[in-house]
């Protein structure tokens, strides 16, 4: 979030859900330090001391930890085509164009009649009941729509929407629904720009705005000395991911590039589709399962994971690609593309649907076969905060949304994890220090963290807390308040 002059920033943080997942360093304290004399007295910048007499004292400096993605398990092909899945309470709901399905477990699906067309669907917590469900999708605008659009928004359309394919007017369309079944298309495009791929939108409860992710192109300004028809924008640039936000779902500004292929990628790689979603139970933990198209290399794709704390600033998560195109000859041996959203199955596994083809993306499609599968991370173990040897870190101060803490982690036979709860002033809460922590060992899935005197976090109501962790041969995947 870009803070305004009236917006206070900094600790303590308040979570939108009850789950804390470490996919970047946002919730991990960077630590601080102090130069001290031999008696432990702080030395100011103006102090005059022998260069070898002062000692560095560190406070909550993280040590020995790193982040790393985990590869997904593949499951498929599924019996149902799932272009978009959301969890709506205990129900899983899926849309695929003019088809709608629902399930109690994410695997056995019931089909219901739908009235209207859909793209990627989301639930809008800010909307009236008549528009609780919303969808966006790429479609051509009619000449009449475009003329009305230009009159209402004369400077808010992109020239590439017309120039990319003469005779077509590329646009992003939307629709609203009270129940996800009966859809009312919006009379005008929400944006006129070229974004012919999966488009993802959602309502951001912190920004109080609608956010939309698109396809975009980080192209520079072209010379006007040569007619446009002699060049195509995508011959000189790489497909990338755009973003736009608006207080009005019916009107988005033209998107801007927010994530592009990086210099450490092969120069023929492109970001084909965004796959934006969030951690189940943690809507403020933003993830992007970007489809990386290895265009001129072999025409296959792989899925790279990016993470963000606000949906605006993104970083690639270290580690391997979370999903690759399978071996040629398999049902998903041509190319793969992630489809929102990341869901949590009843057994605690994370799953995300993906669309796959048996031949590469631009291979002649006369005999192409496509299907949907699940990328699955058992027990929700998508990104690990790893300490291969000894590690320690502290979180930023958090307003705890519960009095108990469950951890999802693993240790080696010789490894362990200990947890300390501290006050705002960094001092341990009585009875919740490392010395009183019950060591955690083994496969710790939703394991309640405890101390010798109990498993309550020990804070007084109205307080914030800092969590400290000491790890040895261990990985932490998330913690959850309850």
Residue 456 lies in a domain: yes
Where are the extended beta strands (E) located within 76-190? Answer: 84-88, 91-96, 99-103, 109-112, 120-123, 133-140, 170-177, 184-185
Answer yes or no: are the C-beta atoms of 369 and 73 closer than 8 Å.
no
- Using the 3D structure, point to which of 363, 380, 397 is the last residue of a domain: 380
Q: Is the four-CA dihedral 326, 340, 304, 274 of positive or negative sign?
A: positive
State whether 168 and 293 are in the same domain: yes
Assign 3-state DSSP to the chain and report helix, strand, coil percentages, each to 5: 5, 45, 50
- Using the 3D structure, point to which of 380, 402, 419 is the last residue of a domain: 380
- For residue 160, report the phi and psi dihedrals to the nearest 5 degrees: -65, -20
The residue whose two tokens read 């003019």 is 98
Residue 8 lies in a domain: no
State whether 366 and 395 are in the same domain: no
Which residues are paired to 135 by β-bridges? 121, 175
State whether 130 and 229 are in the same domain: yes
What CATH number should be reported for the domain holding residue 448? 2.60.290
- Read off the pLDDT band of 102 (50, 70, 90): very high
Q: What was the pLDDT predicted at 141?
A: 97
> In this model, does residue 298 exceed pLDDT 70?
yes
State whether 222 and 280 are in the same domain: yes
> In this model, does residue 2 exceed pLDDT 90?
no
Can you list the alpha helix ranges (DSSP code H) found in 132-244? 143-152, 160-163, 233-236
Task: List Cβ neighbours of 475 (8 Å cut-off, separation of 6 or more).
Answer: 381, 384, 385, 386, 387, 409, 410, 411
Task: List Cβ neighbours of 377 (8 Å cut-off, separation of 6 or more).
Answer: 70, 72, 73, 349, 350, 351
Answer yes or no: are the C-beta atoms of 356 and 371 closer than 8 Å.
yes
Count of alpha carbons within 13 Å of 422, Cβ hemisphere only? 21
State whether 224 and 163 are in the same domain: yes
Domain count for the chain, please give it: 2
Residue 202 lies in a domain: yes
From residue 25, alpha-carbon distances to 48, 285, 328, 393, 394 in Å are 36, 12, 37, 11, 11
pLDDT, greater one: 7 or 292: 292
* pTM, full prediction: 0.94
- Using the 3D structure, point to which of 380, 404, 429 is the last residue of a domain: 380
Answer yes or no: are the C-beta atoms of 68 and 318 closer than 8 Å.
yes
State whether 367 and 392 are in the same domain: no
State whether 255 and 351 are in the same domain: yes
Where are the extended beta strands (E) located within 11-78? Answer: 13-14, 19-21, 32-36, 55-59, 66-69, 73-75
The residue whose two tokens read 């790393």 is 68
- Read off the pLDDT band of 230 (50, 70, 90): low
Q: What was the pLDDT predicted at 40?
A: 92
Answer yes or no: are the C-beta atoms of 306 and 259 closer than 8 Å.
yes
State whether 337 and 424 are in the same domain: no
Residue 341 lies in a domain: yes
What CATH number should be reported for the domain holding residue 202? 2.115.10.20
Residue 174 sits in which domain range? 71-380
> In this model, does residue 151 exceed pLDDT 80?
yes
State whether 325 and 297 are in the same domain: yes
Q: What was the pLDDT predicted at 231?
A: 55
Q: What was the pLDDT predicted at 236?
A: 76
- Read off the pLDDT band of 228 (50, 70, 90): low
State whether 84 and 169 are in the same domain: yes
Q: What was the pLDDT predicted at 387?
A: 98
Residue 228 lies in a domain: yes
State whether 451 and 322 are in the same domain: no
Tell me the per-residue pLDDT of 366-424, one tens digit each, with 9 for 90 and over. 999 999 999 999 999 999 999 999 999 999 999 999 999 999 999 999 999 999 999 98
Residue 166 lies in a domain: yes
Tell me the per-residue pLDDT of 175-192, one tens digit each, with 9 for 90 and over. 999 999 999 999 999 999
State whether 243 and 290 are in the same domain: yes
Residue 169 lies in a domain: yes
Residue 47 lies in a domain: no
Mean pLDDT for the chain? 95
Strand, coil or helix: what is 398? strand
């Amino acid at each position: 979030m870009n803070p305004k002059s009236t917006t206070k920033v900094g600790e303590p943080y308040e979570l939108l859900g009850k789950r804390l997942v470490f996919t970047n360093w946002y919730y991990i304290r960077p630590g601080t330090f102090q130069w001290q004399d031999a008696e432990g007295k702080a030395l100011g910048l103006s102090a005059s001391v022998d260069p070898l007499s002062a000692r560095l004292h560190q406070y909550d400096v993280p040590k020995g930890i790193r982040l790393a993605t985990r590869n997904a398990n593949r499951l498929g092909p599924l019996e149902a085509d799932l272009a978009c899945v959301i969890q709506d309470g205990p129900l899983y709901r899926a849309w695929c164009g003019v088809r709608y399905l629902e399930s109690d477990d994410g695997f056995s699906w019931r089909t219901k009649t739908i009235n209207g067309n859909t793209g990627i669907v989301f639930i809008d917590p800010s909307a009236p009941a008549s528009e609780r469900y919303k969808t966006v999708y790429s479609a051509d605008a009619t000449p009449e729509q475009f003329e009305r659009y230009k009159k209402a928004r004369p400077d808010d359309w992109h020239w590439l929407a017309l120039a990319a394919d003469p005779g077509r007017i590329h646009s992003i369309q939307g629709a609203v629904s009270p129940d996800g079944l009966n859809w009312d298309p919006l009379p005008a495009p929400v944006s006129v720009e070229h974004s012919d791929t999966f488009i993802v939108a959602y309502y951001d409860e912190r920004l109080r705005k609608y956010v939309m992710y698109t396809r975009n192109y980080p192209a520079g300004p072209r010379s006007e000395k040569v007619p446009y028809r002699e060049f195509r924008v995508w011959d000189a640039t790489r497909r990338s991911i755009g973003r736009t936000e608006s207080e009005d779902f019916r009107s988005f500004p033209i998107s801007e590039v927010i994530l592009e292929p990086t210099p450490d990628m092969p120069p023929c790689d492109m970001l084909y589709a965004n796959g934006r979603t969030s951690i189940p139970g943690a809507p403020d933990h933003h993830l992007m399962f970007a489809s990386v198209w290895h265009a001129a290399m072999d025409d296959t794709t792989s899925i790279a994971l990016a993470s963000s704390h606000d949906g605006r600033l993104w970083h690639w998560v270290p580690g391997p690609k979370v999903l690759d195109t399978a071996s040629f000859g398999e049902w998903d041996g041509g190319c793969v593309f992630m489809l929102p959203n990341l869901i949590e199955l009843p057994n605690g596994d994370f799953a995300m649907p993906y669309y796959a083809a048996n031949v590469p993306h631009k291979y002649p499609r006369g005999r192409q076969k496509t299907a949907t599968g699940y990328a699955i991370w058992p027990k929700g173990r998508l990104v690990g905060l790893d300490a291969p040897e000894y590690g320690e870190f502290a979180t930023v101060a958090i307003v705890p949304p519960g009095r108990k803490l469950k951890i999802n982690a693993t240790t080696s036979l010789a490894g362990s994890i200990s947890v300390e709860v501290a006050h705002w002033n960094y001092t341990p809460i009585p009875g919740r220090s490392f010395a009183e922590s019950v060591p955690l060992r083994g496969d710790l899935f939703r394991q309640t963290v405890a101390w010798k005197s109990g498993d309550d976090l020990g804070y007084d109501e109205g307080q914030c807390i800092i969590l400290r962790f000491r790890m040895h041969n261990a990985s932490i995947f998330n913690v959850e308040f309850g």
